[in-house]
Structure 1
Amino acid sequence: MKLLSATELRSNVTTALRAGLLAGFAALLAGCRTFSPDGGMSPVVGFIGQALNKDVVAVRSPEDDLWARGAVESLLKRPLTADAAVQVALLSNRGLQADYNELGISEAVMIANSRPPVPTFSISNVSTPLELDIERQIVVAILGLITQPARTKIAADRFTQAQLKAAWATLRVAAEARRAYYRAVAARETVSALTRFKEAAEATAKLAKQLGETGALNELDQARQQVFYADLTAQVATAQRQAMVEREQLVRVMGLWGYDLNFTLPAALPRLPGKPRTLSRVEQEAMDRRVDLQIALFEVEALAKSFGLTRKTRFINVLDASGISKTQKDKGDGPSVDGGGFSIEFQVPIFDFGRPRVRQAEQRYMQAVNLLAEKAVNARSEAREAYRSYRATYDIAAHFQREVLPLRQIIFDQSKLQANAMLIDVFALLTEARERIAANVNSIDAKRNFWLAYTELGASVLGGGNASPEFGGMVAADAGAAQEN
Structure 2
Amino acid sequence: MAVATALSGCASFSPDGGMSVAAGIVAKELKEETVAIRTPEDASSARARIEHLLKRPLTADAAVQIALLNNRGLQAAYNELGVAEAAMVRASLPPNPSFSLSRISGTLESELEATIAADILALATLPARAEIAADRFRAAQLSAAEETLRMAAEARRNYYRAVAARELVGLLTQANAAAETAAKLARQLGETGAMNKLDQARDQVFYADLTAQLASARQQASGEREQLIRSLGLWGGDLDFTLPNALPALPPRPETIPMVEQYAIDRRIDLEIGRIELEALAKSYGLSNATRFVNLFQLSGIYKDTRESVGGESVQFRDFGPGATVEIPIFDFGEIRVRQAELAYMRAVNRLAERAVNARSEARDAYRAYRSTFDIASHYQRQILPLRKIISDETLLRYNTMLIDVFTLLDEARRRILATIAAIEAKRDFWIAKTDLQAAIIGGREARPIDETSKLGAITGAGADGP
TM-score band w.r.t. shorter chain: 0.7 to 0.9
Change over 3 Å in CA distance of 1:110–1:142 after alignment to 2 = same
Q: Report what 1:6 is aligned to.
A: none
1:187 aligns with 2:165: yes
* SS in structure 1 at match of 2:58: coil
Q: Which residue of 2 aligns with 1:317?
A: none
Q: Following TM superposition, by how much is the alpha carbon of 1:382 offset from its aligned partner in structure 2, in angstroms?
A: 0.3
Instruction: Quote the residue 1:175 is aligned against.
Output: 153
How far apart are residue 301 of structure 1 and its match?
1.2
Q: Secondary structure at the match of 1:54?
A: coil
1: CA distance, partners of 2:373 / 2:458? 50
How many residue pairs match? The answer is 413
Determine the structure 1 residue equivalent to 2:40.
62
Q: Which residue of 269, 275, 284 maps to 1:291?
A: 269
Which residue matches 2:437?
A: 457
AA paired with 2:401?
A
Give 1:122-271 correspondences, 5 Å limit: 122-124=100-102, 137-138=116-117, 140-271=118-249
Shift of 1:44: 1.0
Q: Distance in 1 between matches of 2:263 and 2:162?
A: 30
Partner of 1:388: 368
Query: Secondary structure of 2:98's match?
Result: coil
Going from structure 1 to structure 2, the CA distance change for 1:480 and 1:370 (only over 3 Å counts) comes to closer
TM-score for both structures, normalised by structure 2: 0.84
SS in 2 for 1:481: coil
Distance (whole Å) between structure 2 residues aligned to residue 107 and residue 123 of structure 1: 33
Q: What's the CA shift for 1:419?
A: 1.3
Q: Tell me, what secondary structure is at the counterpart of 1:424?
A: coil
Inter-CA distance 478–174: structure 2 relative to 1 (3 Å threshold):
closer
The residue identity in structure 2 corresponding to 1:28 is: L
**Counterpart pick for 1:421 among 398, 401, 414:** 401
**Residue 357 of structure 1: CA displacement?**
9.0
* Residue 472 (structure 1) shift: 5.6
**376, 389, 407: which one aligns with 2:356:** 376
- 1:201-225 per-position Cα deviation (integer Å, ceiling 9, x unaligned): 1111111112112211111111111
* Other-structure match for 1:277: 255
Report what 2:292 is aligned to: none
Q: Quick one: which amino acid aligns to residue 126 of structure 2? A: Q
Alpha-carbon distance between aligned partners in 1 of 2:157 and 2:405, rounded to the nearest angstrom: 44
User: What letter matches 2:356 in structure 1?
Assistant: A
Provide Cα deviations, 1:450-474, integer angstroms capped at 9, x if missing partner: 1111110011001111252546642
Cα pair 1:56 1:90 within 8 Å, conserved = yes
Aligned amino acid, residue 372 of structure 1: L
Deviates more, 1:383-392 or 1:289-298: 289-298
Per the TM alignment, residue 137 of structure 1 is displaced from its structure 2 partner at its CA by: 4.2
Q: Is the 8 A contact 1:147 1:479 kept in 2?
A: no
Relative to structure 1, the CA distance from residue 285 to residue 310 in structure 2 (aligned partners, 3 Å threshold; closer, same or farther) is: farther
- Distance change >3 Å, CA 380–CA 73, structure 1 → 2: same
1:434 is aligned to 414
CA deviation vs aligned residue, 1:228-267 (integer Å, no higher than 9, x gap): 1111111111100100000000000000011111110000
Unmatched segments (≥5 aa) in structure 1:
1-21, 128-132, 312-354
Q: Give the AA of the match of 1:301.
A: E
Distance change >3 Å, CA 482–CA 274, structure 1 → 2: farther
Residues 312-323 of structure 1: matches in 2 within 5 Å?
A: none
Contact 1:204 1:225 in 2 (8 A): yes
The 5-angstrom pairing of residues 8-47 of structure 1 reads: 22-31=1-10, 33-47=11-25
Q: Structure 2: how far apart are the matches of 1:475 and 1:267?
A: 46
* Greater Rg over alpha carbons, structure: 2
Match of 1:19 in 2: none
User: 2:67 matched to which residue of 1?
Assistant: 89
**Structure 2 stretches lacking a partner, 5+ long:** 106-112, 290-334
Per-residue CA distance 1:126-170 (angstroms, 9 max, x = gap)? 89xxxxx98x844x4323312322322222111111101100110
1:448 lines up with 2:425 in the alignment: no
Q: Does residue 301 in structure 1 map to residue 301 in structure 2?
A: no
Q: Distance in 1 between matches of 2:362 and 2:194?
A: 62
**How far apart are 1:304 and its partner, in Å?**
1.3
Deviations for 1:343-401, whole angstroms, at most 9, x for unmatched residues? xxxxxxxxxxxx99946533432331122011111101100000001111111111111
Query: Matched residues in 2 for 1:356 and 1:118: separation?
Result: 29
Q: Secondary structure at the match of 1:39?
A: coil
Q: CA deviation at 1:282?
A: 1.4
Structure 2 residue 89 is the aligned partner of structure 1 residue 111: yes
410-419 vs 62-71, greater mean Cα deviation:
410-419
TM-score with structure 1 length normalisation? 0.81
- After TM superposition, give the deviation of residue 433 of structure 1 in Å: 0.8
| Structure 1 vs Structure 2 CA RMSD | 2.4
Residues 476 and 192 of structure 1, relative CA distance in 2, 3 Å threshold: closer
Indicate the larger mover: 469-478 or 229-238: 469-478
Q: 1: CA distance between counterparts of 2:130 and 2:388?
A: 69
- Find the residue that maps to 1:36 and give its secondary structure: coil
Structure 2 Cα separation of the partners of residues 482 and 476 of structure 1:
15
Structure 1 residues 106 and 357: alpha-carbon distance in aligned structure 2, compared to 1, 3 A threshold: closer
- Identity %, equivalent residues: 60
Counterpart code for 1:191: V
Aligned-partner residue type, residue 443 of structure 1:
A
SS in 2 for 1:121: strand
- 2:378 — aligned with what? 398
